[in-house]
Structure 1
Amino acid sequence: MAAHPSFGIATAPQQVDYADLLRVWREADEIPQIEHAWLFDHLLPIAGDLDGPIFEGWTLLSAMAAQTQRLRLGLLVTSNRFRPPAMLAKIAATVDVVSGGRLVFGIGAGSRPSNPMARREYEANGLPYHDFSHSVEALDEALSVIRRLWTEDRPFDFDGTHVSLRGAFGNPKPAQRPHPPILIGGRSAAVLRLVAKHAELWNVPGGDIDDVRQRSALLDRYCADLGRDPASVTRSIHLSVSYDEPGRTRAAIAEALDAGFGHVTLGLPSPYPQGVARWVADELIG
């Protein structure tokens, strides 16, 4: 079992009002058992009314950062397909400063082309939608650029296959030094190689715990190939919460902890009951 597990909440910013999201985050900010809180990064709803409301993730995250004091916070996870990496580095540095150094920089390659519910948002927003191998290669370059923008004190050029920059420079730097922790979300072998290369945390959706264990073992191997201690990558898992069957959620948490996933994010379905953050602390975390 993972030592000293940390628990957080995830509130998908779709089919909800801003006031409800803010209520839940402010309540969670007052509950020590809840250490982190997350939004996601989509431009159109991926569940419920497909024409319903959805907020832009980074803008909303900055608002939440300004109105909380303690919670670590981030997007689970940013789509690298949506924003040029130098712009994303600037956005993330701004949020880290606004939050007083509480950002966890969650990022992923973006949804696969086989996911029609996600794919439509690219077409609706005039964004290119390349194949998955392209998106993984682009994520590798983006992470290299973003880290340099956060840490280097002189402008630099970058010539990659997918990213080309001239005179790139980040100022101000993030509040955290050397930079905010990087969390990569995904389960494919190609993404796990990038986790071993770039990340402090790796997040995967729960569900099939045997598959999750196998993916974690594969990450161990990729870390070893790079001469990196596998224990230096925190294992993070997203678990869906059932308000009606908390025992089922508690069982999933126990399985995840036993599998070595000490960073647990509990996805809260909307509408959010009154006092939901306290309920999470009392009924699920204990």
Structure 2
Amino acid sequence: MTDYGHPITFGLSLDPAADRLPETRRLARAAQAHGLDYLAVQDHPYQPGHLDAWTLISHLAAHTETVTFVTDVADLQLRPPAMLAKAAASLSVLTGGRVTLGVGGGASTDAIAAMGGARRSRGDMVTYTAEALQVMRAALAGQGVRLASEQHTIEGYDGGPLPPRPVPLWLGSQGPRMLAVTGALSDGWISPLNIYVPPAEVPAKQRRIDEAALAAGRRPSDVRRVYNVIGPLADAAHLTEWALELGFDTFVFWPTDAPRRQLDRFAAEVVPAVRAAVEAGR
């Protein structure tokens, strides 16, 4: 049994398709009304039909008041870390702290290169990501940043503005080296969708994160655990098991069709059932 003791939280993944914007706005407001904790937006800017994630989040933030937004996940190779920290700090100030920064090394080398990003090897991408997390951590704390390495050249950035509360840095990862970076340097692990990382594969990945956290002088519980769960409707029994047995504390629901109906059922039936069952199980 692995349970890191964090509060159980829930989010909804919003489709960034440009032609679905009116529905996306309605879903964002409905998720807030249901009391969900997070609204998540994927970041695939090389998709012609997708709105830019940061622009969409900024727009939706103006249509909501309490829910927190998370990039799930921002592509670090297309969003340099000092600039990404600036954007996150700015949005945090504008929204009263409603920002969690989920980042990743980048899912598609070809797509990144097609937009002008560097074509990095897998090893270089891991190094780039680890250094980027440290850059963002310092910048979000309002510190000065200088870094001259093979992957980054930052000649002197003064971080700011200071967010009203710390912006968590969650890292999307799957391979062993990136999972180690997650444990050593991030505030949370964002697992890919449950169809890509099925439950049977999770314990080994959690152990890798835990070992890296301990080696870095941290506690495994310093890292939150986030599972992206695709519909048609997440099952309360499965989510409870994944919280108590696999260690996940946050579930981001990705509806497959009829998203408003699925959201209403998820928030009204699944969320309270999971919270009650996890509390009883603990």
Q: Do the structures match in fold with TM over 0.5?
A: yes
- Specify the code of the residue in structure 2 equivalent to 1:198: L
Q: Distance in 1 between matches of 2:188 and 2:100?
A: 9
Matched, 1:143 2:133: yes
**How far apart in 1 are the matches of 2:162 and 2:155?**
19
Distance 1:44 1:14, change over 3 A: farther
Q: Percent identity?
A: 24
1:197 corresponds in structure 2 to 184
Secondary structure in 1 aligned to 2:58?
helix
Task: Give ranges in structure 2 of 5+ residues lacking alignment.
Answer: 273-282
Match of 2:135, SS state, is helix
Q: Which runs of 4+ in 1 moved over 6 A?
A: none
Alignment of 1:93-242 (within 5 A): 93-111=89-107, 113=109, 119=110, 121-153=111-143, 155-176=144-165, 179-205=166-192, 206-207=194-195, 208-242=198-232
The residue number in structure 2 matching 1:48 is none
Q: Secondary structure at 2:37's aligned position in 1?
A: strand
* TM-score under structure 1 length normalisation: 0.85
Gap runs ≥5 in structure 1: 46-50, 114-118
- Counterpart in the other structure of 1:27: 30
- Write out aligned runs for 1:48-59 (5 A): 53-59=49-55
Other-structure match for 1:285: 271
* Distance apart, 1:161 and its partner CA: 2.0
Aligned counterpart, 1:68: 64
Amino acid at match of 2:167: P
SS in 2 for 1:261: coil
Cα distance in 2 for partners of 1:22, 1:161 equals 42
Distance 1:123-1:219 versus aligned 2 partners, 3 A rule: closer
TM-score, normalization: structure 2?
0.86
Amino acid at match of 1:42: H
CA distance in structure 1 between the aligned counterparts of 2:106 and 2:151, rounded to whole angstroms: 15
Q: Measure the CA separation in 1 of the matches of 2:257 and 2:78.
A: 25
Instruction: Tell me how far 1:127 sits from its aligned partner.
Output: 2.4
Residue deviations 1:180-234, cap 9 Å, x none?
0111111111111211222111111223211111100121111121221111211
Residue identity matched to 2:27: V
Q: Distance in 2 between matches of 1:260 and 1:29?
A: 25
